[in-house]
Amino acid sequence: MVAQTGDFLGTEINSDRMLWSMAGNLAMVYRVLMGISFETDGLHINPVIPKAYSGTRTLSNLKYRGATLDITIRGYGNTFRKVQMDGEPLPGGIVPTDLTGIHHIEIEMAGMPFKDMGMNKVENHICLSTPLVNRDGQTLRWNAIENVKAYHIYKNGKFQEHTTATSLDVPLENYAEYKISAVDDQDYESFTSEPVTFTQSERIIEFEDIASASRLPYTNFSGKGFIDVSLDVNRTLEFTIPVDAAGEYLLDVRYSNGNGPLNTDNKCAVRSLTVNAVYAGVLVFPQRGQDEWSDWGYSNSRKVKLNAGDNVIRITFEEWNHNMNGEVNTAMLDYLRLVRMD
């Protein structure tokens, strides 16, 4: 329970056995000491056990595809002396993908200490600042970074070219996303900039034309207003979008969420997206700063297939959309953005 309230609510992030700490501990057991990894050709078992952790370990009732495994490992080291399944050799410690039924795996480690790999010490290095990029018509512009050797240009996630200029003329095309990074004279690269999108077919659907506009006193929205979504308000939004041509489109939402800081807390808003009665995934609206309800940004994008003519869009709160907070799942929605990709 939570010490301050005596309530179980909030224990996911406040208890002395936090879920991510438990996950980290379990990962050490499963992935390191038991050495389990899921690969395309089977379940690989490659234990790594320091001498100080020598002994016998058993993992029982492990479900793998159609099989149930009981795994016992004895000794220490990172190489096998013997590995058997049901009394027969198990080559490479690899459990095949088509295995079914209940099986017992026995592993005896070679008892060899790890090789001393030493330490690879390197001098501390500070990367250059991330370029601040903006769009000026069909031109991409960014600020000059001190001590830069070159800028790397990425298009749709792939490296395109490097330049010493601070602008780039972008050709006309249906859709492209650009990012810029700065590289110093030792070839260390900065973080890439926030993506900038170029498109010839961007379409905006204002949410205040779909549901009643909010009366909350926030600013910097587009159109005539915005709407709020919460566990009590606008749990279901359903509307029709007509398009001229069938094809793939990117769909995202301009939103604000002032329920907490950028780097912590648990009040990210989540909603489910359905397009023409087909589930298309979730829309995620992370916090953008404590009480920063007039600071607008974009949700994640979902790639959807639309038909020529009318398309029915649903944005709903479903049971699987609960966040870790459990009580606050709120955002302001300004507009939906639709971009044709093909």
pLDDT value, residue 24: 87
Question: b or e along 252-272 (b: 16 or more beta carbons within 10 Å of the residue's beta carbon)?
Answer: bbbbbbbbbeeeebebbbbbb
Domain(s) of CATH 2.60.40.10: residues in the chain = 133-199
Look at phi and psi of residue 218 and say left if phi exceeds 0, alpha if psi is from -120 to 50, else beta.
beta
pLDDT value, residue 23: 85
Comparing CA positions, the residue from 225, 329, 325 lying closest to residue 270 is 329
State residue 320's pLDDT score: 94
What the block records as the tokens of 70 is 């009981």
- CATH architecture label of 133-199: Sandwich (2.60)
The answer regarding whether domain 34-109 maps to CATH 2.60.420.10 reads yes
Q: Select from 269, 249, 251 the least CA-distant residue to 259.
A: 269
| Residues 245, 251, 256, 260, Cα dihedral to 10° | 180
| In the chain, ranges of CATH 2.60.120.260 domains | 202-340
Q: Please enumerate in sequence order all residues whose Cβ is within 8 A of that of 136, keeping only pairs 6 or more positions apart, or say none.
A: none
Residue 173: predicted pLDDT = 85
Nearest to 291 by CA among 267, 314, 322: 267
Q: Which amino acid is at 284?
A: V
Return residue ranges of the chain for CATH 2.60.420.10. Answer: 34-109
| Widest CA span in the chain | 74
Threshold 0.75, pTM exceeds: no
CATH topology of domain 202-340: Jelly Rolls (2.60.120)
Averages of pLDDT over runs of 10 residues in the chain (342 residues) are 60 58 89 96 96 95 96 96 96 96 97 85 93 95 97 96 97 91 97 92 94 97 97 97 94 97 91 98 97 96 96 97 93 96 82
**Predicted pLDDT of residue 93:** 96
